[in-house]
Amino acid sequence: MPMVSAGTYGPVCIDAADVALVGSPAGGTWSGTGVSGNLFDPSVGTQTLTYSFTNANGCSSSAQHHHRGERAAHGERRNLR
């Protein structure tokens, strides 16, 4: 069975650019809510991203990453006079 890693990613604001996903070994596929190819478009809350890989012998394995999307913090409100 191949050793598979889904990588490590920190929290991302939901209005940030898409996150490039990198799994190993190379050549696997990503799946999950907000995933298109190897890009992830985060939304609020925790999503489970799965990286699956099949080696030349037909043996498959997968790894998951639970990604947390956060709302962007808004600037302070100030009273203007």
Residue by residue, pLDDT tens for the chain (81 residues) are 889 999 988 777 777 889 899 999 999 999 999 999 999 988 877 889 999 999 999 999 999 998 877 776 654 433 343
Whole-prediction pTM value? 0.80
In a domain, 7, yes or no: no
What domain count does the chain have? 1
Helix, strand, coil fractions of the chain, as percent rounded to 5? 0, 40, 60
Does 65 reside within a domain? yes
Please check whether residue 46 lies inside any domain of the structure. yes
Domain of 46 in residue numbering reads as 12-70
* 25 residue type, one letter: P
CB 62 within 8 A of CB 15: no
Please report the pLDDT score of residue 26 as a whole number. Answer: 96
| CA-based nearest residue to 12, from 37, 54, 42, 39 | 42
